[in-house]
Chain A
Amino acid sequence: MLDAAFFRQWLTSAAALVDREAERLTELDSPIGDADHGSNLQRGFAAVAATLEKDAPTTPGAVLTLAGRQLISTVGGASGPLYGTLLRRTGKALGDAAEVSEQEFADALRTGVDAVGALGGAVPGDKTMLDALVPAVDALSESFGAAREAANEGALATTPLQARKGRASYLGERSIGHQDPGATSSALLFDALVQTAEAGRE
């Protein structure tokens, strides 16, 4: 079972990974976007980590809801509302249980991913974060490791796609040949999930 401490640790790990990878995310964002994805997420996740340290909610649902609200309030751009909605809706779907099973988490995360799709009006194949999130949540029932693998593969598979949503869509065919920064940052969430689970087992 997964408790509030697990989810706090997950987001703290995610913040550390985003911090480490910020430059690479910004680099990916410069040929097809506006070169700020890394710095924006870095600012948002740092705020999430700080908030969770100060105010430590006691249920998994409350941890994710608070983190989502914090992202919306600090990131801006499209990634603020999208990542914020992902965590808020997942948190809401978890309700106020003190502990949740891995399957319950997988189901709740699917609700969150669906909400991201609805908000952005995107589907897999549009070269967005959904290209990592959807396969990852499909694989999550199997294991965290499988989800990580699926997310990373999904992110890599965005390279040959033509963007149809977000700022990269303005490039038309010229968006082909670049890995999507949003799918790449989404994959980091699953890296952090595996890290957190492994740390818990030690």
Chain B
Amino acid sequence: MKMLINVAETVVADALRGMAAAHPDLTIDVENRVIVRRDAPVAGKVALVSGGGSGHEPLHGGFVGPGMLSAACPGEVFTSPVPDQMVRAAAAVDSGAGVLFVVKNYTGDVLNFDMAAELAEDEGIQVAKVLVNDDVAVTDSLYTAGRRGTGATLYVEKIAGAAAEEGMPLERVEAIARQVNENARSFGVALSACSTPAKGSPTFDLPTGELELGVGIHGEPGRERRAMMTSSEIADFAVDAVLEDLRPRNPVLVLVNGMGATPLLELYGFNAEVQRVLAERGVVVAHTLVGDYVTSLDMAGASVTLCQVDEELLRLWNAPVRTAGLRWGV
């Protein structure tokens, strides 16, 4: 597999150096792997810190900035960051109003953020945590590590980030973050496996003519493999999988997310089918986002996330945001 890299060991550090050069309104500590909005800590404002394995860009570093995250900790590729990074990030952004850790439900992320929360509290930083677990492809949480956190992470970070920006206290920001998570569900499909720099070849074998349904964002295979389907059939399958679990009574936000190697031409076409299914099911769409937001290196495929919103969540969603990966209203 050809990759535009030097060596696997420096992939994350190299990317951070390049990101720093491209985004002067971020402070990037390449050595300790912490990305911070330049004006942090913002007096009186609750800080949001998230993080996870690298390879999902723009998540999470691309969502640092006014209106969204205060700081992000990128781990190695597909590996959660370590507690030291999270504590360092929390200390850099805490204004005394407290820090909300946004954690995707993966064993490594959960364990490391738990340890970090304890250490940060030892340093006198008030910490709250929200666990994102929106992936309906994982059904039986009694015999699994529980639902994965995927596309809903973007909604949690954006909406809770706006709440913090408005000056809401930690308790309220945390409650809103939970509300977003509880109202969001995702389902993903892969048309090809991804290749990690460390391995240098596809992490699983997906023959031409087949697709994986219910895939995660770490190059882990999904729950089921089928013969390749059309965009229209995939949209029916994915949206119905989400709607089986989330029966929205209010309008929804729609995220049609690319996994990294599917061009916008295909994503827009897929979105047309997603909108058709939603219309057929009588679901009202308040806003749609199409593009690569929560990626899986060079995996081809897409995920659909729906997030049911009330007036307050919609207002916070529409509030200004200025980050590398999401930017409007400013």
Write the residues of chain A forming the contact surface with B, with a CB cutoff of 8 angstroms: 26, 30-36, 38-40, 43, 72-82, 119-120, 162, 164-172, 174
Chain B interface SS verdict (over half): loop
- Docked CA distance A82–B80 (Å): 13
Assess whether B129 is interfacial by the CB under 8 Å rule.
Answer: no
B interface residues, Cβ below 8 angstroms from A: 8, 53, 75-84, 106-108, 111-112, 115, 137-138, 140, 143-145, 148, 196, 198-199, 203-204, 216, 218-221, 223
- List 20 A-B pairs, Cβ < 8 Å: A30-B203, A30-B204, A31-B221, A34-B53, A38-B198, A39-B76, A39-B198, A40-B76, A40-B79, A73-B83, A76-B75, A77-B108, A81-B108, A164-B143, A167-B216, A167-B218, A169-B145, A170-B148, A170-B220, A174-B223
Residue of A35, A40, A162 near B199 (CB, 8 A) is A35
Q: Determine the residue in chain A with the shortest Cβ distance to B110.
A: A78
Given contacts A35-B203, A36-B76, A36-B198, contact A170 B107 (CB under 8 A): no
Q: Chain A's nearest CB lies how many Å from the CB of B101?
A: 15
Q: Which 8 A-B pairs have the closest CB atoms?
A: A77-B108, A169-B144, A81-B111, A78-B108, A78-B107, A77-B79, A34-B218, A39-B198
Q: A167-B145, A171-B221 are in contact. List 15 more A-B contacts (CB 8 A).
A: A26-B199, A34-B53, A34-B220, A35-B198, A39-B198, A40-B79, A73-B83, A76-B79, A77-B53, A78-B111, A79-B108, A82-B111, A167-B107, A170-B137, A172-B143
Chain A residue at minimum C-beta to C-beta distance from B200: A35
Identify the closest chain B residue to A120 (Cβ). B107
Specify the chain A residue showing the minimal Cβ separation from B205. A31
A167 engages B220 (CB within 8 Å): yes
A31 engages B204 (CB within 8 Å):
yes
- A95 CA to B181 CA in the complex, in Å? 44
**In the complex, which residues of chain B have a beta carbon less than 8 angstroms from the beta carbon of A74?**
82
Across the two chains, which residue of chain B brings its CB closest to A164? Answer: B143
**Complex Cα distance A59/B216, Å?**
44
B203-A34 in contact (CB<8A): yes
Query: Do the beta carbons of A174 and B221 come within 8 Å of each other?
Result: yes
Q: Are A72 and B82 in contact (CB under 8 A)?
A: yes
| Residue of A32, A77, A166 with most partner-chain B CB within 10 A | A77
Find out whether the CB atom of A73 lies under 8 angstroms from the CB atom of B82: yes
Roughly how many angstroms separate A165 CA and B140 CA in the complex, as a whole number? Answer: 12
Query: Using Cβ atoms and an 8 Å threshold, which residues of chain A touch B53?
Result: 34, 76-77
